[in-house]
Amino acid sequence: MSGRRFCPNCGTKLESNVEFCPNCGFKLAKKEHASPSRQAYQQTAKKQTSSQGRQAYHAQPMKKKTKVLLTLGATFLAVFTIFYAWGSSHYSKENQINRIKADLIDTKAGLAKDVVADDSAMQVTDTALKPTQTYFAEHHKAANELINYLKEDASFNRIHLVQSGHHMLLFPKYVLRVPTIYAAVATNHSNSSITVNGKYIGQVKPGNFASEKQDNKYGVKLRHLFVGTYHIKVKSNISNRNLSTTSNYDLWSSGTVDMGIRTENFTVKSTPGAILYLNDKNVGTLNKKGRLTFKDYPVTDKLKIYVKAKVGSNTIKSQELNYGDVQYDDANDSHKTIEPKWDGLIAKEDAQEILEDNFKDPDEDAFVNGAENKSYQELRKMDKGYDEDDDIDSYDMSCSVISVSPAPNKSSNVVYKITFTFEVGDTERKQVLLYKGASFRSSDSDDEDNESQKIKSIGTGKIVSDKRY
């Protein structure tokens, strides 16, 4: 038994003179005489090696289908993670609110996708929501306030942000819940028709429309409306004369719009050559004296009035005002003189005071850009020259403003006269200069006193009179 050999790798019985196992090809070591303990160790190693060989032989490779499924699963998980991260950002509450704002102030965009009505009976369409868009498109400050309120989970004029379904089944969808109202239009003439936002509504009918004016006994009830700005027109035939009146109304609650037609006399006074607009319609040009008069013109208290003037290459617009905000000229309420205001326009008396003060004693704080202003430097030089002239015993000056007209960027153009009186020995000399091209600019101050106006340029002066007495 001691002469027998076995392969240490697979256990196959071997001949004594072979170098490689005929069964597994294992290279055999040269025969050595081992001690009993070493023989025991070899037998133990033989068993372990044999066991490992059998285990390796029985291992099965991963199936191809399993590999494909695991790869697809890992890919899907990675793609879903990226998609969810993108969706969480794109459909975040704040980003949805910002997109709603963009649609809200753009009358060309569709708003219906962003809105639910506070009344389920109301049909939500882009057309029905145009008045809401029109209001916020014309009132960006209100739009910004609305968005700020929505981000704080608060309401603005009964407009709320609510969740309505989900985007892609995963991300909450937020929309505006916009209030709806019921309204009526009432007038004082039976043979009148009503048009709202360019759509013919119909002829008026007698009835009780809860009007604040007793004469407005005829009207129509409007269908369910979203809140917003509505352009309403009433056409009537009075004494065989076709008359109409139009007004824009911001409707935020249910009620009656009074559109009684009355005719009145009024004059609009402003910059000569300016174009007059009544309810956004060009109705004429102011004459050389800056006036345009109307007789028996149909008016409402909401009649919107403003003018536009051409100044150089720029067209500027006055502030808007409503006819009802202007007082009558007389106790009989027979005539009004309407003078639209201009942003930053300086009053004649203020311009005169500032010019006179600075011709006498120039103050750099009264000029745009302070001491660097060329007009300031010019007045300083002129004032110093008079003070150092030995031939002049004393001098005085006065200012008279001839005209003030609006200019772009809250500025004013001023034409004025400066009269200098010089005492030279026994002689008094009066010199009158006409200045054109002077300009003032309104500062950002809310204060309406003289300090809010600064001289941009004193203009160019020309001597028109020079007399000695």
pLDDT tens for 136-184 read 999 999 999 999 999 999 999 999 999 988 887 888 999 999 999 999 9
Q: 380 by DSSP, 3-state: which?
A: helix
288 with 239, same domain: the answer is no
Question: Can you give the residue range of the structural domain that contains 301?
Answer: 262-338
279 with 247, same domain: the answer is no
326 with 423, same domain: the answer is no
352 with 329, same domain: the answer is no
Query: Would strands 115-117 and 171-178 be described as parallel, antiparallel, or unpaired?
Result: parallel
104 with 166, same domain: the answer is yes
Asked which of 178, 204, 237 is the last residue of a domain, the reply is 178
pLDDT, residue 450, reads 45
Q: Are 459 and 422 in contact (CB under 8 A)?
A: no
Q: Reply yes or no on whether the pLDDT at 86 is more than 80.
A: no
Asked which of 160, 178, 196 is the last residue of a domain, the reply is 178
367 with 443, same domain: the answer is yes
In-domain check, residue 215: yes
Q: What is the pLDDT of residues 177-218, one digit of tens each?
A: 999 999 999 999 898 999 999 999 999 999 988 888 888 899
54 with 64, same domain: the answer is no
In-domain check, residue 366: yes
In-domain check, residue 343: no
Distance CA 322, CA 332 (A): 20
What is the DSSP code string of 303-334?
Answer: -EEEEEEEETTEEEEPPPEEGGGSPPSSTT--
Distance CA 425, CA 386 (A): 15
Q: What is the CATH number of the domain that holds 268?
A: 2.60.40
Distance CA 63, CA 71 (A): 13
Q: Reply yes or no on whether the pLDDT at 2 is more than 80.
A: no
In-domain check, residue 299: yes
Residue 67 CB-half CA count within 13 A: 4
Query: Would strands 183-187 and 218-221 be described as parallel, antiparallel, or unpaired?
Result: antiparallel
Distance CA 402, CA 225 (A): 53
Reading the block at residue 419, the tokens are 């009269």
In-domain check, residue 254: yes
Q: What is the pLDDT of residues 423-451, one digit of tens each?
A: 888 889 999 999 999 999 998 655 544 45
291 with 302, same domain: the answer is yes
State the DSSP code for 346.
Answer: P
Asked which of 178, 209, 224 is the last residue of a domain, the reply is 178
355 with 430, same domain: the answer is yes
Q: Reply yes or no on whether the pLDDT at 269 is more than 90.
A: yes
Mean pLDDT of the chain: 87
Share of the chain above pLDDT 90, in %: 62
Q: What is the CATH number of the domain that holds 356?
A: 3.10.450.50
pLDDT, residue 1, reads 47
pLDDT, residue 105, reads 94
In-domain check, residue 13: yes
285 with 212, same domain: the answer is no
106 with 198, same domain: the answer is no
227 with 333, same domain: the answer is no
In-domain check, residue 168: yes
pLDDT, residue 34, reads 45
Share of the chain above pLDDT 70, in %: 90
In-domain check, residue 130: yes
Task: Label residues 141-159 b or e (16+ Cβ within 10 Å = b).
Answer: eebeebbebbeeeeebeeb
pLDDT, residue 299, reads 86
Q: What is the pLDDT of residues 289-313, one digit of tens each?
A: 999 999 888 888 889 999 999 998 9
* Overall domain count for the chain: 6
Signed CA dihedral, 62, 64, 65, 69: sign only: positive
Q: Reply yes or no on whether the pLDDT at 240 is more than 80.
A: no
